[in-house]
Structure 1
Amino acid sequence: MANVTLDIRGVSCPGPILEAKKLLDGMNAGEVLHLISSCPGTPDDVRAWTRTTGLELVAMRETARHVYEFFVRKK
């Protein structure tokens, strides 16, 4: 499902979004980034970021206590 995975557990916000943006900037339209983060603010940040930038939040889930996974598609 994902073309690229970014496991950034242990990095505080806004680090996960900043690093994800760098990767997505180099990806093609239609490709999917799998982002894994342990920062508790990341779910709200990812929702706001995808809403304001036109990216598609394909899926989001908490896989363990304070471990979040996101699948973001570049349009």
Structure 2
Amino acid sequence: MTDVIKEDQVLDCSGMLCPMPVVKTSKAMKELQSGQILKMVATDPGAPPDMEAWSRQTGNELLRSMTEGGKFIFYLRKK
């Protein structure tokens, strides 16, 4: 990881199960300006495929998806 992504907002969805991480992410993204980046943290093992599908469906860009310390971390850029 040589490039650092600077998020504009952080959303912690730890402990939430589907569909709440997607619902909360959708709500948070609506508050951002176009081009801003949301960092979303989740513990739900279903979050990676859910966020990939959500990104495709909404047109918001999934910049990076990774696992760190048992948590799934996503960086999403608002379209």
Q: Normalising to structure 2: TM-score of the pair?
A: 0.91
Q: Distance in 1 between matches of 2:32 and 2:7?
A: 12
- Percent of paired sites with the same residue: 32
Name the structure 2 match of 1:48: 53
Q: Which amino acid aligns with 1:74?
A: K
Name the structure 1 match of 2:72: 68
RMSD: 0.6
Q: Which amino acid aligns with 1:69?
A: I
Q: Which runs of 5 or more structure 2 residues have no equivalent in the other structure?
A: 1-5
2:27 aligned with 1:22: yes
Deviation at 1:26, TM superposition (A): 1.1
Q: Which runs of 5 or more structure 1 residues have no equivalent in the other structure?
A: none
Q: Normalising to structure 1: TM-score of the pair?
A: 0.95
Deviation at 1:53, TM superposition (A): 0.8
Runs of at least 4 residues of structure 1 off by over 6 A? none
Aligned length: 74
